[in-house]
């Protein structure tokens, strides 16, 4: 079970939300990423996601994305690839079975028939209509604060199905990866920062990794080869 966060795509120069110079330093999160903000100013929210989509068109997958795609190719049906990211870097690297827990940036969602349709990297038109039912009641396909995330059901399915948990580039602030790691005998964390709430307990001068079996304190691309080798060793022995 692989769960990735913003750190996976950060090295593709895709803006993170919480880091220094992240999106939340430039935007009010409650104005552009909440149900309240959507109800108050739909144009502002639509413009925000149009800008993210336009930026995405210029980005490219990095070595960590390609490493995950190669794992999927080499071990078909044995890797759960769940991501909190709404970009399409994993798919562009070659991944076929990606579960986007928080939605997808390239898709719009019809609020009448509830179907998704891909608009690529273009802006949502002012009078955009659903190609399936013709409704003009369409919106971005990204989960906002204040609404449910239906794809989270796959987290529990993956926990039941897997024996190794790998968390890549996520702070654990949205999804509690420390608790998830506790469900597994084997676990790997890849993150450049040592976050006390997910990696250790005790005094900072003598850290003890409490939640994850292995902690690779590197960026995703730097850790890709070692991480892949560890995953392959587990899968080959399973």
From 65, 102, 140, 154, the catalytic residue: 102
Q: Which two tokens stand for residue 97?
A: 């079975």
Active-site residue, 154 included: no
Length of the chain: 238
Phi, psi of 69 (to 5 degrees): -65, -40
Report the distance separating Cα 139 and Cα 126, nearest Å: 11
Report the distance separating Cα 31 and Cα 28, nearest Å: 5
Q: How far is CA 61 from CA 77, 146, 156, 177, in A?
A: 22, 30, 28, 24
Report the distance separating Cα 160 and Cα 127, nearest Å: 44
Contacts of 37 (CB under 8 A, 6+ apart): 28, 30, 31, 44, 45, 144
Name the residues annotated as catalytic. 102
């Amino acid at each position: 079970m692989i769960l990735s966060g913003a750190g996976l795509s950060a090295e593709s120069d895709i803006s993170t939300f919480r880091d220094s110079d992240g999106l939340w330093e430039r935007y009010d999160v409650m104005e552009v990423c909440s149900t309240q903000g959507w109800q108050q100013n739909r144009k502002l929210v639509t413009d925000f996601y149009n800008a993210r989509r336009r930026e995405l068109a210029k980005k490219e997958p990095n070595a960590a994305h390609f490493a995950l795609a190669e794992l999927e190719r080499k071990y078909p049906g044995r890797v759960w690839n769940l991501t909190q990211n709404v970009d399409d870097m994993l798919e562009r690297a070659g991944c076929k079975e990606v579960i986007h827990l928080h939605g997808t940036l390239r898709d719009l969602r019809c609020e009448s028939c509830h179907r998704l349709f891909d608009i690529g990297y273009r802006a949502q038109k002012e009078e955009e209509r659903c190609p399936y039912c013709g409704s003009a009641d369409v919106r971005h396909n990204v989960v906002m604060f204040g609404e449910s995330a239906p794809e989270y059901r796959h987290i529990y399915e993956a926990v039941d199905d897997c024996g190794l948990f790998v968390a890549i580039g996520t702070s654990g602030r949205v999804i509690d990866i420390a608790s998830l790691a506790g469900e597994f005998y084997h676990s790997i964390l890849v993150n450049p920062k040592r976050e006390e709430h997910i990696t250790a307990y005790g005094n900072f001068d003598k850290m003890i990794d409490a939640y994850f079996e292995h902690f690779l304190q590197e960026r995703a691309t730097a850790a890709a080869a070692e991480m892949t080798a560890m995953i392959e060793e587990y899968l080959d022995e399973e």
